[in-house]
Amino acid sequence: MRRWWSVFLVGGVIAYRGLFNWIRPAMYVPTMLGSPIFQLIFFTKLGQYAHAQPREFYVVGNSVQVCSMASVYGMTMAVANERWFGTLGPLLATPANRAAVFLGRGVPVLANGLFVSAFTFGAGALLLGFRPALASLPALALIVLVTVASCTCFGMLLGSIGLRAKDFFFVANLAYFLMLLFCGVNIPLDVLPGWMSFVGRCLPLTHGIAAARGVAAGRSLSAVSGLVWTELGIGAAYACAAYLLFRVLERESRRSAVLDSY
């Protein structure tokens, strides 16, 4: 059990340091901190121009959504880069528990997602005058934690696809942009056509953002608990699907001898 935790935690951190391309400050600051601030400003101003929703709608939506930059890209890199860097073979040759190897990579991604989201909320408060009630902050933090976890599980699924897909960054980029459209980040779900809001409800972020908006508007955590549990359930479903896919693709890649090939 101790070894399991060691692979889970230490292995996860080492893998993250080695495989997350944007970890250097020269990359991290412009990409993970600069870009979310301007995304926030862009959509808030667009919403203001379109007379669509109040400012808080965009601040909460985008501040929660930017965690997916850490989760989707971070998790994709943490899994799929093993193949890109040619270390997938040695990794899979070890007897280490696969669940510990796979899930451990999510911990630093989760921490990073939380930081990016918190930073963007801070920028929203500083630049756009977002002022939620102080009492709502713990509940907001909990909701963001759940949402980032759910997004990280989704990122795991994309990372698993990267074990076989030729261009895994295309998949990650596409997923990131589609989440902007489908998850109610900048458009209320009831404005979208039925099929789009249905897809949005099957994705991470959607329920978390709705819950965060509720809490920021003064509702209690218990009033939005249904949304939070749904977000958690969606995350758990993606984690199971990701782990299953990882094992299937690992077995198939070994069987067809295409582990490191493109």
Partner 1 sequence: MRSVRVVWSGFVMNLKMLGTSSFFLLTSVVQPVIFATVAFYMFRSGGRSGTLLYAALGAGMMGVWSTTLFGSGGMIQWQRWQGTLELGVGAPPPMALVYLPFSLANAFTGMYALAATLVWGRVVFGVPLHFAHPLLFVLALVATVVSLGLMGLVLASTFILYRYANAMSNLLEYPVWVASGLVFSTSLLPGWTRPISWCLPPYWGVLAIRHAALGGETWRPLGMVAVLGLAAAAISIVTFRVFEHQARARATLSLT
The residues of the shown chain that bind partner 1, judged by CB under 8 A, are 22, 24, 26-27, 29-31, 34-35, 38-39, 41-42, 45-53, 167, 169-170, 173-174, 177-178, 180-181, 186-188, 191-192
Cα–chain-centroid distance for residue 83? 21
Closer of 54 and 89 to partner 1 (Cβ): 54
Question: With respect to partner 1, which residue has the nearer C-beta, 159 or 235?
Answer: 159
Beta carbon nearer to partner 1, 112 or 136: 112
Question: Which residue, 31 or 97, is less far from partner 1 as judged by CB?
Answer: 31
Write down the least CB distance from residue 18 to partner 1, Å. 17
CB of residue 92 vs partner 1: minimum separation in angstroms? 27
Backbone angles phi, psi at 28, to 5 degrees: -65, -45
Closest to 85 in 3D by CA, of 18, 131, 142, 171: 18
- Side-chain half-sphere of 99: how many Cα atoms within 13 Å? 8
Minimum Å gap between C-beta 163 and partner 1 is 18
Whichever of 178 and 244 has its CB closer to partner 1, that residue is 178
Structure tokens at 229: 């549990």
- Nearest-approach distance from CB 32 to partner 1, in angstroms: 9
Half-sphere exposure (Cβ direction) of 83: Cα atoms closer than 13 Å: 26
Cα 236 to chain centroid distance, Å, stands at 13
- Cα separation, 117 vs 212, whole angstroms: 12
Nearer to partner 1, 8 or 58 (CB): 58
The distance of closest approach from Cβ of residue 11 to partner 1 in the complex, given in angstroms and rounded to an integer, is 27
Comparing CA positions, the residue from 245, 236, 231, 233 lying closest to residue 79 is 245
CB of 154 to partner 1, least distance (A): 17
Residue 52, φ and ψ in degrees, nearest 5: -85, -65
- Nearest residue to 146 (alpha-carbon basis) of 103, 105, 207, 90: 207
